[in-house]
Amino acid sequence: MIDVGGTLWPNSWPFRQTDAAGRHERVAAAMPQLGAAAIGSLVADLIESSRIGDHARAISTETPPTIPAAEILIGASLERQGLPADVNVVNRIRRAMAIPVADRMKPLPGAIELLAEIRALGLRTIIASNTYWRDAESYWDDFRLLGMAAHIDAIVTSVDAGHLKPHPAVFEMAIRVAGCPAQRCVVIGNREENDVEPALALGMRTILVYPDDPKPASSRAHAVVPDLWECARALKAMLHDG
Ligand SMILES: [Mg+2]
């Protein structure tokens, strides 16, 4: 099970002036029955009400959200526009707001090699990630564009699980998807609190990586490695030792 921000790709991504236009286009495509004026005021409201959270994620994707969950924020926005907020509409808008990231950053060095090595070791890769707008379906689009999708078996996000890590829901869902006991799972991530601690509590093994962070002062992880090539070696050694 692998974390994404600070593990497979950088901790943060830059915002672009074109993001608003991109979201406008994507929401318009998701809501073809709405006229241009209605789309304009809905998107303006969505962008304004989520601005604090988006800025926080430009500094760190690990930053705890200071705004309500995406579904609640979108529901409130639709209500202010006098539009019905049924669950399908909310999900369509949430995916539209998850602008693709593949054009603004690359996977961290060794990320694709790590995923390929996991496959070569006969293991499966399940993404276990905290997100705001993104669910598994949005993430698949990102990973396809970044050339990583072929190495990934399943994706579980906090949007899908209904709670942010360190809540155990993301890992519990990932264990169900893996279909094997927690003792046979290894969690790879860059945060002691979000990745290592909840994984240990569920009886999983852990590798703390810091390809985009300072060296941690201490960790309870089974292995602590500076980059993703070392991570692949640590994983191999872990399998070898049983
Ligand atoms: Mg992370």
pLDDT digits (tens, 9 = 90+) for 180-194: 999 999 999 999 999
Q: 97, 120, 141: which is the final residue of a domain?
A: 97
Q: Is 236 found in the same domain as 150?
A: yes
Report the distance separating Cα 41 and Cα 208, nearest Å.
44
Mean pLDDT to the nearest integer, 7-23:
87
Distance 5 CA to ligand 1 centre (A): 4
Q: Is 195 found in the same domain as 90?
A: no
Distance 127 CA to ligand 1 centre (A): 11
CATH of the domain at 219: 3.40.50.1000
Report the distance separating Cα 70 and Cα 91, nearest Å.
9
User: Would 106 be classed as within a structural domain?
Assistant: no
* pLDDT band at residue 55 using 50, 70 and 90 as cut-offs: confident
pLDDT above 90 (res 122):
yes
Distance 134 CA to ligand 1 centre (A): 15
Distance 213 CA to ligand 1 centre (A): 10
Q: 97, 127, 145: which is the final residue of a domain?
A: 97
> Domain span at residue 28?
19-97
Q: What is the largest CA-CA distance in the chain?
A: 63
pLDDT above 70 (res 238):
yes
- pTM attached to this predicted model: 0.93
Q: Is 227 found in the same domain as 168?
A: yes
pLDDT above 70 (res 237):
yes
Q: Which residue, chain included where needed, has tokens 């998701």?
A: 30
Q: Is 121 found in the same domain as 92?
A: no
Distance 60 CA to ligand 1 centre (A): 9
Q: Is 116 found in the same domain as 50?
A: no
pLDDT above 70 (res 219):
yes
Q: Report whether the peptide linkage leading into residue 216 is cis, meaning its omega lies within 30 degrees of zero.
A: no
Q: Is 145 found in the same domain as 45?
A: no
